A and B are shown apart, each in its own frame.
Chain A
Amino acid sequence: DQQVKQNSPSLSVQEGRISILNCDYTNSMFDYFLWYKKYPAEGPTFLISISSIKDKNEDGRFTVFLNKSAKHLSLHIVPSQPGDSAVYFCAASANTGNQFYFGTGTSLTVIP
């Protein structure tokens, strides 16, 4: 059973606009969340994380928002750039566990 869900397989955004990627989870024990970015023919690379004690974490153009009551997190990219075109994976873990659970990914295309 998929505990982390990314319901949008793909997203297209114009360069300079905001990209919003969404992720939902079902396990209320999850307390640490990450976003990974994956280019073709490369492994996923860590982008940004958030702990459940926060509701927002920002790093440059990337901001992750966490809504614990809704079991929902989102990644905002502002402004979007063509180099941001990649597959973005959401992952979650619990402090009682020993693995990350990944979503199926959202393919972002930023149109110049």
Chain B
Amino acid sequence: DAMVIQNPRYQVTQFGKPVTLSCSQTLNHNVMYWYQQKSSQAPKLLFHYYDKDFNNEADTPDNFQSRRPNTSFCFLDIRSPGLGDAAMYLCATSRETPGTSGNNEQFFGPGTRLTVL
């Protein structure tokens, strides 16, 4: 089945220790997104890639970086995790970006729960 896969499902890191979360897709979608979701809050978009074009949200901290080496994979790098970065990180894909009629439904992975000690 075509899907969005996130590894690991649970990640524990220490304060200040770099961590990388990964996402892969078999849908061959153009767009890949990273969201941060904290408890009882809405998913918050960090950034997205349209193919190789990177789009950073204005309020995404510099501590968060992303790489998309090919269509299938996208990585979220947190350079120096703080206690406030503990959250669920959701990867999503879509054929086109919102604002394009049709084909812009997002498909989500199961998320990675990040704990910062």
Question: Measuring CB to CB, which residues of chain A are less than 8 angstroms from any residue of chain B?
Answer: 2, 4, 9, 32, 34, 36, 41-46, 49, 51, 89, 93-105
Contacts and interface: CB of A to CB of B under 8 A. Distances in A.
A95 B104 CA distance: 11
Interface of B: 4, 6, 33, 40-43, 45, 48, 50, 55, 57, 90, 92, 97-101, 104-111
B74 to A, nearest CB: 14
A43 B48 contact: no
B98 A103 contact: no
Contacts of B41: 104
A97 B42 contact: no
B107 A46 contact: yes
A2 B42 CA distance: 9
Nearest to A41: B110
Contacts of A97: 98-99
A95 B99 contact: yes
A42 B105 CA distance: 17
